[in-house]
Amino acid sequence: MARQERAIRTRRLILEAAGAVFDEHGYTATTISMVLERADVTKGALYFHFSSKESLAQAVLDEQLSLGAVPPQPCKLQEIVDVTFVFGQRLLSNSLLKGSVRLAVDQCAPPGVDHSGPFRQWADHLVVVLEQARAQGELLPTVEPRQTVELLVGAFAGIQLMSRALTDRDDLAERISVLWGHILPSIAVPGLLTAIDRGPDRGLRVLATIDEADAERAELDLSRR
Amino acid sequence: MARQERAIRTRRLILEAAGAVFDEHGYTATTISMVLERADVTKGALYFHFSSKESLAQAVLDEQLSLGAVPPQPCKLQEIVDVTFVFGQRLLSNSLLKGSVRLAVDQCAPPGVDHSGPFRQWADHLVVVLEQARAQGELLPTVEPRQTVELLVGAFAGIQLMSRALTDRDDLAERISVLWGHILPSIAVPGLLTAIDRGPDRGLRVLATIDEADAERAELDLSRR
């Protein structure tokens, strides 16, 4: 393995371990030694990538947006719906994402860690997609995209939190479906309401297409070698 | 002051101090000594009312529902809207409520503290009011009250959290208004949509009527003596 590739893998390993520890213990109770033990890397390797617990937390927070990526859709509202279902589905198994979400909703961010970052980044990302939806005539004229996406980001944060508190996120997909059932009639043109797929299994189905595409790409890479 | 009355006051004093400390430091970092110092009571007084940090946290959580009480309204949907605005308004200044909310959204509840309690209690309370709204013909026939109230409770939790992270809750009333603007069209019969008051200053106005009623009651009590 090339040196650079190995460094990228180690960094990833540390981030995933940090996510798991932050998720289980919260920011305050987490120590660098706990992350070292979980990642099974040397102290030197960790400090090569991250200078402190703060910078580790910041890196975990910064990963959040990339973990919610979905394939583009002709209907941009469907794409936004997909983001919420895929994010919810990944939240069941991805420790890095779990840790990132816990840090974002944690009130006790120390100076130097911007825990409000994910809220702003998600809103900034989704407002672009919602503007595309508007350009394509998908939205009711009353929609103000910035207001709507900030509502979605805030509501999603609370819904996953309530689902975690009550059922350890077992019913999260169901709750996301209910959210869209209540919000879509206020933002989508009537003709789209039945066309948009907001079934609770939407996240699983979108993830399956992502995995398929990844597998095809890998096969193509191999045949080219 | 009668002995019992003094005990009730002391308990309240301790609860308010505990709420403030839990809000500022979170459950894990809070110690009984911090609460003692804030409340300025003796250790004996505190342990007379609360046997441990856990029982103190539980009592702070249990206070949440009573802090969201509003006057009844002829329109039951208006009453539910009022609960959210009054709760949001009180969250700006009431330390006990702030601490209670922080404990509820804290993932790190120790065994013995039921931090999911407020989510369930709010849903159980609001579903009764929403059923009254249904009986009065205020709801669209598609509404399933349990689903809708759980969405409201979860969404509210996240919206206050996002508002806290971005503006220290400065824009919370505005965000609650946006929430209702997106949800009401999916639950209220069309004729009610313009009649329901969801102005961002709704919380302040309802609180003013509560204060007025309290003042009148106090005057009446005095004149009866």
Q: Write out pLDDT tens, residues B184-208.
A: 999 999 999 999 999 999 999 999 9
A50 in the same domain as A72: no
Domain end point (choices A32, A59, A86): A59
Number of C-beta neighbours around residue B76 at 10 A: 20
Residues of A with CB under 8 A from a CB of B: 23, 25-26, 28-29, 102, 104-108, 115-116, 119-120, 147-148, 150-151, 153-166, 175, 178-179, 181-183, 185-187
Looking at beta carbons, which residues of chain A come within 8 Å of B159? 151, 154-155, 158
pLDDT band at B142 (very low <50, low <70, confident <90, very high): very high
Higher pLDDT, B219 or A64: A64
pLDDT over 80 at B224, yes or no: no
What CATH number is attached to the domain comprising B48?
Answer: 1.10.10.60
Higher pLDDT, A1 or A164: A164
Q: Which two tokens stand for residue A210?
A: 């992502």
In which domain, by residue range, is A200 found? 65-224
pLDDT over 80 at A224, yes or no: no
Distance, in Å, from the CA atom of B122 to the CA atom of B100, rounded to the nearest integer, reads 13
- Overall domain count for chain B: 2
Q: Which amino acid is at A66?
A: S
pLDDT given for residue B1 in this prediction: 64
Distance, in Å, from the CA atom of B161 to the CA atom of A191, rounded to the nearest integer, reads 34
A154 in the same domain as A95: yes
What angle (nearest 5°) sits at the alpha carbon of residue B98, between those of residues B93 and B100? Answer: 145
Report how many Cβ contacts below 8 Å link chain A to chain B.
123
Distance, in Å, from the CA atom of B26 to the CA atom of B106, rounded to the nearest integer, reads 8
Q: Which amino acid is at A116?
A: S
The DSSP element (H or E) to which B105 belongs, if any, is helix B95-105
A197 in the same domain as A167: yes
Instruction: Write the residue in A107, A115, A158 that is nearest to B154 by C-beta.
Output: A158
Distance, in Å, from the CA atom of B29 to the CA atom of A108, rounded to the nearest integer, reads 10
B149 in the same domain as B209: yes
- CB pair distance less than 8 Å for A154 and B148: no
Tell me which of A170-174, B27-31, B112-116 is least confident: B112-116
Residue B202 burial (10 A CB sphere; 0-12, 13-18, 19+): buried
Residues above pLDDT 90, as percent of chain A: 79
What is the arithmetic mean of pLDDT over B145-169?
A: 96
Q: What is the pTM of this model?
A: 0.93
Q: Which two tokens stand for residue B147?
A: 């689903």
pLDDT given for residue B225 in this prediction: 66
- Mutation pick from A24, A91, A151 vs chain B, by most beta carbons of B within 10 Å, is A151
What CATH number is attached to the domain comprising B102?
Answer: 1.10.357.10
pLDDT over 80 at B110, yes or no: no
pLDDT over 80 at A108, yes or no: no
ipTM: 0.92
A155 in the same domain as A111: yes
* Cβ within 8 Å of residue A79, ≥6 positions away: A70, A72, A73, A129
Q: Measuring CA to CA, how many Å separate A203 from each of A48, A184, A199?
A: 36, 17, 9
Mean pLDDT estimate for chain A: 93
Higher pLDDT, B138 or A1: B138
Q: Measuring CA to CA, how many Å separate B34 from each of A219, B24, B29?
A: 61, 11, 10
Half-sphere CA count of B165, side-chain side, radius 13 A: 27
CA distance to partner chain A, nearest, from residue B197 (Å) = 18
pLDDT band at B26 (very low <50, low <70, confident <90, very high): confident
What is the arithmetic mean of pLDDT over A9-19?
A: 95
pLDDT over 90 at B46, yes or no: yes
Domain end point (choices A41, A59, A77): A59
Helices (H), chain A: 3-29, 32-39, 43-49, 53-62, 76-90, 95-105, 117-135, 145-167, 172-187, 202-224
Q: Which two tokens stand for residue B17?
A: 């101090």
Distance, in Å, from the CA atom of B134 to the CA atom of B128, rounded to the nearest integer, reads 10
What is the arithmetic mean of pLDDT over B27-48?
A: 93
pLDDT over 90 at A220, yes or no: no
Looking at beta carbons, which residues of chain A come within 8 Å of B108? 25-26, 29
Looking at beta carbons, which residues of chain B come within 8 Å of A114? none
Tell me which of A125-139, B9-23, B38-52, B100-114 is least confident: B100-114
Distance, in Å, from the CA atom of A90 to the CA atom of B104, rounded to the nearest integer, reads 24
Domain end point (choices B44, B59, B74): B59
B89 in the same domain as B158: yes
Distance, in Å, from the CA atom of A165 to the CA atom of A197, rounded to the nearest integer, reads 27
pLDDT given for residue A81 in this prediction: 98
pLDDT given for residue B109 in this prediction: 66
Distance, in Å, from the CA atom of A86 to the CA atom of A205, rounded to the nearest integer, reads 9
Distance, in Å, from the CA atom of B225 to the CA atom of B220, rounded to the nearest integer, reads 9
What is the arithmetic mean of pLDDT over A20-25?
A: 92
Instruction: Write the residue in B29, B102, B183 that is nearest to A182 by C-beta.
Output: B183
A79 in the same domain as A42: no
- CB pair distance less than 8 Å for B155 and A154: yes
Looking at beta carbons, which residues of chain B come within 8 Å of A26? 26, 28, 106-108
What is the arithmetic mean of pLDDT over A150-164?
A: 96
A69 in the same domain as A55: no
What is the arithmetic mean of pLDDT over B203-217?
A: 90
A95 in the same domain as A53: no
Query: pLDDT tens across A169-210, in order?
Result: 999 999 999 999 999 999 999 999 999 999 999 999 999 998
Q: Output the furthest CA–CA distance in chain B (Å, rounded).
A: 58
Query: pLDDT tens across A73-89, in order?
Result: 999 999 999 999 999 99
pLDDT given for residue B16 in this prediction: 95
A30 in the same domain as A76: no
B76 in the same domain as B185: yes
- CB pair distance less than 8 Å for B185 and A183: no
A154 in the same domain as A44: no
Mean pLDDT estimate for chain B: 93
Residues above pLDDT 70, as percent of chain A: 97
pLDDT band at A109 (very low <50, low <70, confident <90, very high): low
